[in-house]
Structure 1
Amino acid sequence: MVAMATGSSLLLLLLLLLVAPPFSSSAVVRPGRFNTKAVRSIINRSAKEFLKDRAQQGVTDFSGRRTNDDQLGSSAADTYGAFIFELSVGTSPQQIPVIMDITSELIWVQCGSCTATSCLRYTPLDTTTFMPDLSRYVGCDTQYCQMVVPGVQPKCNSQYPACRYELDFYAADAINPTWYTSGYLANETFNFDTASVAGIVFGCSDDITLPDLAGSSGFLGFNRGALSLVTQLQITSFSYFIAPDDTGSNFVSWNWDEDGAPAAVGSRRKSQSTPLLAPTANQNPYYYVKLTGLLVDGQPLTSIPAGTFDAQPDGSGGVYMSTTLPVTYLKEAAYNALRRELVSKIQSQGVIPVDTPGDLYHLCFLTQYFANAKVPTLALVFDGADATMELTVNNYFFDLPDGQTCMSILPSTDVSVLGSLLQAGKTMTYDIHGGQLMFQTAAGVPARSPVPLIATLLIAWVLGLQTLL
């Protein structure tokens, strides 16, 4: 799955990281890179579903607080905004497509056979299924089992001694069913081109009630938790690029050090950086940043109350990054200030928002008039010297097929989440050991990677949103 290079292959490594910041280490560093292509039809369908259905539920609470129920799964994982690529698993390798999620911890895939009497699956019949070696299960008395169900004594017996887990992705309401996956923990060899790593702990899911996984078999947890791939591989840094249109090349890349020593991350000209904040004991192990304000047409929104984006001692508040949630959620006070300013400036040009009865938060305009308006510029200001992320209109407005253009920023009662659409067109680099998030506007990456083995990838949003205009 992953193209690898040894420390002696310096030229190959430099070519590999033309867009992402260069990395170097005195130990053996294993870089991996995956190219992707956009699935435009899925993205457009997802955008319509999300903005027309999910947005009308009003102010949303995407809490960053840590609980036993959500620490292994993404709080935003009821949408799939994903880099999907082939994961090579097993000593007799099987290629399993998985969704990379930087807000999930557990690695899990669809495992084994399924019949109506033995399990419940909503995934399509042709979904790739991993056939595990059942002797590789993780027992209930292990530390890994306690990580999955802390403080809970799992139900085990001599006939089925594997540690069981269940992850809820979306709570049931009057209209929607509960979406969840359950299974048992196992360990297997994961293969990365010339390198193989034995003993990676992951979930083998037998019940999957998520309605669609965009053709994938499961999730690749990439947050800071103990069971994520980042922790198990000791990944020192990773980068990704979401192309703003179909002409660009999307990619995911990461560096891991097989000796566990941190790899140094070099700076790259024109990139900007802000500290990655370590999550507190009350927060989920996400990638938090300090957002200090917003600029509209270069002017700060002074009506946003001080401390709006700050994390609170109980784990609420704060701002974290997401690759699964396509839209962006801002704390309600900041959203209201931004909305007022945008409406004022656009409406002064005679372009009036669409009045949707009962929907107080969904800001939309008729596309035929919005297309001729001068849309105010928007920028995010982060903590750090000159750490301002300039956005294009396509980062925060999206054209729907019904002739409306809607803002893809919505209000939250708790935490703020910076979604994938907002990040499109920028190389995002997470220097985990250096504690920095670096972002750089980039035109894309080479269509053909110089590494010898390339996995086929897709970038897709199902029940989510990305703009590729």
Structure 2
Amino acid sequence: MPSLLSFVLLLSVTLMALLASPAFSTSRGTLERPQVKTRFRVNLKYVDSGKNLTKFQRIQRGIKRGNHRLQRLWGMALDSNDVVQAPVHAGNGEFLMKLAIGTPPGTYSAVLDTGSDLIWTQCKPCTDCYDQPTPIFDPKSSSSFSKLSCSNDLCKSLPQPTCKNDCEYLYTYGDYSSTQGILAQETFTFGDVSVPHIGFGCGQDNEGDGFSQGAGIVGFGRGPLSLVSQLNEPQFSYCLTSIDDNSKTSTLFMGPKESFNITKTESIKTTPLIQNPSQPSFYYLSLEGITVGDARLPINPSTFELQEDGTGGVIIDSGTTITYLEQSGFDLVKKEFTSRINLPVDDSGATGLDVCFRLPADSKDVEVPKLVFHFKDADLELPGENYMIGDSTMGVLCLAMGASSGMSIFGNIQQQNMLVTYDIGKETASFTPTQCDNL
């Protein structure tokens, strides 16, 4: 299979109160839903921000992470009908978000993941924990920490809960990383907004190196364990800055965008979200076709369709860097770009991308064909920087897309400098061209 690129966007999250051990908390049978303000904005940053890397070095690191993530996401879909095998979860994302946990609040960074649900952080006492940038959360230090009982609805929502004295969980990921601990509730603080009684996983046995950039994961999927579901806010948005300058700040908005004085409606494109009963956490879109230049590609209509057995389809994912298209669709895109760009093909594989061209030494501007994704009710034409990546030092120009098998993913490079709004109440996703670092 051709090399694939995925750019893991990690959200800088101040995580503080996740799970604790049985010795120092009162068990709660019913999770109390927040009755406070739950609308907030937080800054996001790329997982590799602040590192002395060239653009293509960041991309190559993203490719490696992306290959793992693609395998995880595809594995989740394949395993969804297998009641024997333990489910595999998506895991890492590309952005970090800051948040705080507990009372008094302690600040953490955690991975934002729109491909999974569970919120978790590493907790003391730690049987096996990886190195993280901040101190490990200690439930003993928080007056608002309590464990959740086995009768709690969130415990029942775990894929494979184990109940002895406490509600225990085990999440495994496609790169063989895992987190294991107990389910608890805590006060989480996002910016200047504190929300009590958030259910999360207190991980006391965490293995693998897939999460070392942060202190855990904040799931933004559609399932009951996710932050989106627990806050009961049907709408959230993010605006991701360009990969060219990862010093600029991306932003996450929880709640209607109008609450943040974002009222821009021109050029907005809105398409339905599709539900997959076999994989209910993912955000699926209906991709009906692709245009390159002035040619609508002869892609079979079934190529991107969600199948009755839960396989196939197209998901939108903030945690995957490039877009992956099912092999037969990608082959047509590759063929069209190769025929339309008047440059020699670079097949060295040095960049990790499958479609690259050699740039002349004196090249400044290269004309590239337009690219349109025809989602249902939304023809989304992308700006050139959202799908072509050039590097004059390496002398290459590459298409930021790759091939996949069975599932397609609309990645975050294609979403950069767009306000992407998920409206779960209306079952829609919207795209509005936006200079994200100006929000």
Band of TM-score, shorter chain = 0.7 to 0.9
Matches within 5 A, 1:359-438: 362-368=354-360, 373-384=366-377, 386-397=378-389, 399=391, 403-438=395-430
Matches of 1:374 and 1:313, distance apart in 2? 41
Whichever residue aligns with residue 88 of structure 1, its letter is A
Equivalent-residue separation in structure 1 for 2:405 and 2:103 (angstroms): 47
**Aligned letter for 1:238?**
F
Who is 2:275 aligned against?
279
Aligned to 2:172: 168
Query: 1:248 and 1:195, CA in 2 relative to 1: closer, same or farther beyond 3 A?
Result: closer
* Equivalent position to 1:228, from 198, 222, 226: 226
Alpha-carbon RMSD: 3.8
1:413 Cα deviation after fit: 1.1
Cα gap change, 1:138/1:101 in structure 2, threshold over 3 Å: closer, same or farther? same
Deviation for aligned residue 1:42: 6.7
Matched, 1:32 2:28: no
| 2:344 paired residue number | 351
Q: Can you give the 5+ residue segments of structure 1 that lack an aligned partner in the other structure?
A: 3-26, 172-177, 257-262, 448-469
> Aligned match of 2:313 in 312, 318, 322?
318
The residue identity in structure 2 corresponding to 1:272 is I
Name the CA distance, whole Å, in 2 between partners of 1:81 and 1:70.
25
Letter in 1 for 2:119: I
Aligned-partner residue type, residue 266 of structure 2? K
The residue number in structure 2 matching 1:24 is none
Q: In structure 2, do the counterparts of structure 1 residues 379 and 403 end up closer, same or farther at CA, with 3 Å as the change threshold?
A: same
Distance 2:67 2:153 in 1: 40
User: Partner of 2:157 in structure 1?
Assistant: 147
- The structural deviation recorded for 1:52 is 7.0
Checking the alignment, whether the CA contact within 8 Å between 2:271 and 2:376 is kept in structure 1 is: yes
3-state DSSP of counterpart to 1:206: strand
Corresponding residue of 1:238: 236
Q: Is the 8 A contact 2:387 2:401 kept in 1?
A: no
Query: Residue 81 of structure 1 corresponds to which residue in structure 2?
Result: 94
SS class of match (2:333): helix
Offset at 1:123?
Answer: 2.7
**How do residues 172-187 of structure 1 correspond to structure 2 at under 5 angstroms?**
178-187=176-185
Q: Deviations over 1:98-144 (max 9, x none)?
A: 12111110001111144xxx32x3334x4432111497222334332
Q: Once the 2 structures are TM-superposed, how far is the Cα of residue 85 of structure 1 from its aligned partner? A: 2.3
> Aligned pair 1:132/2:139, yes or no?
yes
Q: Distance in 2 between matches of 1:167 and 1:254?
A: 26
**What amino acid does structure 1 have at the position aligned with 2:292?**
V
Give the TM-score normalised by the residue count of structure 1.
0.73
Distance 1:201 1:398 in 2: 44
Distance 1:401 1:145 in 2: 52
The AA in structure 1 aligned to 2:419 is T
Q: For the residues of structure 1 that align with 2:63 and 2:276, how far apart are their CA atoms?
A: 32
| Match in the other structure for 1:255 | 255
The 8 Å contact of residues 76 and 87 in structure 2, kept in 1 or not, is answered as: no
Q: 1:389 to 1:206 in 2, by over 3 A?
A: farther
Query: Conserved in 1, the CA contact under 8 Å of 2:72 and 2:174?
Result: no
SS at match of 2:387: helix
Contact 1:325 1:419 in 2 (8 A): yes
The secondary structure found in structure 2 opposite 1:333 is helix
Shift of 1:95: 1.5
State the AA in 2 paired with 1:422. Q
Q: Assess if the C-alpha contact under 8 Å between 2:41 and 2:191 holds in 1.
A: no
Aligned equivalents of 1:59, 1:375: Cα separation in 2: 31
Query: Deviation per CA, 1:354-402, whole angstroms, max 9, x where unpaired?
Result: 2459x99822333446865422221211111x53232324434364975
Please state how far the C-alpha of 1:34 moved relative to its aligned partner: 1.8
Asked whether the 8 Å contact 2:42–2:191 carries over to 1, the reply is: no
Q: Which residue of 2 aligns with 1:106?
A: 118
* Map of 2:435 onto structure 1: 443
Displacement after TM superposition at 1:293 (Å) = 1.0
TM-score (norm 2): 0.77
**Contact preservation (8 Å) 2:43, 2:250:** yes
Q: SS where residue 51 of structure 2 aligns? A: helix
- Residue 304 of structure 2 corresponds to residue 309 of structure 1: yes
Do 1:273 and 1:436's aligned partners in 2 also have CA atoms closer than 8 Å? Answer: no
Aligned residue type for 1:433 = G
SS of the equivalent of 1:387 reads strand
SS of the equivalent of 1:334 reads helix
| Cα distance between partner residues in 1 of 2:70 and 2:106 | 43
How far is the alpha carbon of 1:64 from its aligned partner? 6.0
SS in structure 2 of the partner of residue 344 of structure 1? helix
Structure 2 counterpart of 1:19 = none
Indicate conservation of the 8 Å contact 1:63/1:317, yes or no: no
AA partner of residue 73 (structure 1): H
Q: Distance in 1 between matches of 2:422 and 2:210?
A: 29
Higher relative contact order (CA 8 A, sep 6+): 1
Structure-1 separation of matches of 2:50 and 2:291? 31
Cα shift readout 1:391-419 (whole Å, capped 9, x = no counterpart): 32443436497554433211111111111
Contact residue 100 and residue 220 of structure 1 kept, 8 A: yes
What SS class does the counterpart of residue 202 from structure 2 fall into? strand
Q: Distance in 1 between matches of 2:346 and 2:356?
A: 6
Report if the CA contact (8 A) 1:189-1:200 is conserved. Answer: yes
CA contact (8 A) 2:324 2:403 kept: yes
1:95 is aligned to 2:97: no
In the aligned structure 2, how far is the partner of 1:352 from the partner of 1:58? 26
Residue type of the alignment partner of 2:137: F
Check the 8 A contact 2:287/2:376 in 1, yes or no. yes
Partner of 1:206: 204
Q: Is the CA contact 1:236–1:431 (under 8 Å) kept in the aligned structure 2?
A: yes
Corresponding residue pairs, total: 393
Give the Å deviation of 1:344: 1.4
CA contact (8 A) 1:221 1:229 kept: yes
